[in-house]
C-alpha cells in the first residue's frame, strides 16, 4: 500500500509497521498531518498482512501538540470543519483493527497525549512529559480520551491548569503502562509488538474489536459480545493450529511473516 506522506513516515517489516511523526522541531500536528495520520491507520487496518503497529515520534519529542498557527485566525465555521478532521483522525487510530503500541519517546502534550492515550499499550521514556495545555491558547483539548486512562481527578487537574506531568506521575495515573530509560523505549515497544505479531492474526483483530466495543458496555453485555467473537475465532484455521501447537508443545505456524 502507498504510505507516501510528508510528515508521517511508515516502515513495514513482516506485518509490523513503525509509524513515525516527523515534523521538526516538535512534531506539531497541522491539518495536513491529521489527514496523513488518518489515512495511514485506515490503510494499515485494511491491509490483511498487517499485524501490529508502533507509533512514535522522530527526535526527542513524541508530539508537541497542535500547530498553534492553525488557531490564530480560526473562525467558528472553519473551526467546526477543522475539528471534524481531528475527530476522524482520533477515531481512525482508536478503531484501527490492529493493536498499536505507543513508544512515547519524549513530550506528549495536547494532541500528543491524546494520540498516546489512543494506543493500546504505551511505553514511555523516563524523560517524557504529558500535558493538556490547550487552556492557555484559547481552545479545549481531548480530555475525554485522556479520562479513559487517568480518571476524573487527574484529567481535570491537567485540563484546568495545563500542568505538565512527569513520566513517573503518568505511570501512577495509568496514562502509560511502563516507563523505561530513553534508549530502551523503541526496543521495548518493538519487543511487545513482535510478541503480538506472533499470535493468531484473526484472533488479535477480533480481540481488539471486542475490547473496543465492550469498553462502553456493562459487564454482562461485554462478555456476551466477547462470546460471539470467541465463536468467530473458533471458525478460523489458526484456532485449530494454535490448539494443536499447544498440545504438541511447539510454536504455532500461522501465516508466513
Burial of 160 (0-12, 13-18, 19+ CB in 10 A): exposed
Q: What is the pLDDT of residues 4-23, one digit of tens each?
A: 899 999 999 999 999 999 99
Q: What is the pLDDT of residues 150-172, one digit of tens each?
A: 989 999 999 999 999 999 999 99
* Contact criterion met (CB below 8 Å) for 178 and 171: yes
Instruction: Cite the DSSP H helix spans in the chain.
Output: 31-46, 69-72, 76-95, 111-118, 143-161, 167-172, 185-197, 201-214, 219-234, 237-247
User: Which strand ranges, in their side-by-side order, compose the sheet holding 107-109?
Assistant: 61-63, 107-109, 129-131, 165-166
Tell me which residue of 143, 8, 142, 27 sits closest to 87, measured CA to CA. 142
Q: What is the mean pLDDT of residues 224-234?
A: 88
pLDDT at 239: 78
Tell me which residue of 113, 115, 118 sits closest to 99, measured CA to CA. 118
| Residue 147, pLDDT above cutoff 80 | yes
Percent of the chain surpassing pLDDT 90: 72
Q: What is the pLDDT of residues 75-122, one digit of tens each?
A: 666 777 888 889 999 999 999 999 999 999 999 999 999 999 999 999
Percent of the chain surpassing pLDDT 70: 95
Q: What is the mean pLDDT of residues 33-44?
A: 96
pLDDT at 71: 62
pLDDT at 74: 61
Burial of 166 (0-12, 13-18, 19+ CB in 10 A): middle
Q: Which SS3 state, helix, strand or coil, does residue 29 take?
A: strand
The three cell numbers locating residue 172: 501512577
* Residue 17 host element (H or E): strand 16-21
CA–CA distance, 48 with 58 (Å, rounded to integer): 27
Amino acid at each position: 500500500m502507498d504510505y507516501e506522506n510528508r510528515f508521517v513516515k511508515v516502515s513495514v517489516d513482516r506485518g509490523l509497521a513503525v509509524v513515525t511523526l516527523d515534523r521538526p522541531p516538535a512534531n506539531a500536528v497541522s491539518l495536513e498531518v491529521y489527514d496523513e495520520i488518518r489515512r495511514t491507520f485506515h490503510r494499515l487496518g485494511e491491509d490483511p498482512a498487517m499485524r501490529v503497529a508502533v507509533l512514535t515520534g522522530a527526535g526527542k519529542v513524541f508530539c508537541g501538540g497542535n500547530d498553534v498557527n492553525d488557531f490564530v485566525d480560526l473562525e467558528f465555521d472553519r473551526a467546526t470543519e477543522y475539528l471534524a478532521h481531528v475527530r476522524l483522525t482520533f477515531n481512525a487510530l482508536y478503531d484501527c483493527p490492529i493493536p498499536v503500541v505507543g513508544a512515547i519517546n519524549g513530550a506528549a502534550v495536547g494532541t500528543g497525549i491524546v494520540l498516546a492515550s489512543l494506543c493500546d499499550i504505551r511505553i514511555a521514556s523516563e524523560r517524557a512529559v504529558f500535558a493538556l495545555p490547550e487552556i492557555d491558547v484559547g481552545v479545549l483539548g481531548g480530555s475525554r480520551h485522556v479520562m479513559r486512562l487517568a480518571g476524573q481527578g487527574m484529567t481535570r487537574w491537567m485540563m484546568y491548569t495545563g500542568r505538565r506531568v512527569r513520566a513517573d506521575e503518568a505511570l501512577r495515573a495509568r496514562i502509560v503502562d511502563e516507563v523505561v530509560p530513553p534508549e530502551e523505549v523503541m526496543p521495548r515497544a518493538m519487543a511487545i509488538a513482535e510478541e503480538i505479531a506472533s499470535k493468531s492474526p484473526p484472533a488479535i483483530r477480533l480481540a481488539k474489536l471486542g475490547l473496543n466495543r465492550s469498553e462502553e458496555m456493562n459487564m454482562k453485555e461485554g462478555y456476551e459480545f466477547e462470546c460471539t467473537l470467541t465463536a468467530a475465532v473458533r471458525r478460523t484455521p489458526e484456532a485449530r493450529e494454535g490448539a494443536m501447537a499447544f498440545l504438541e508443545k511447539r510454536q504455532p505456524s500461522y501465516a508466513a511473516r
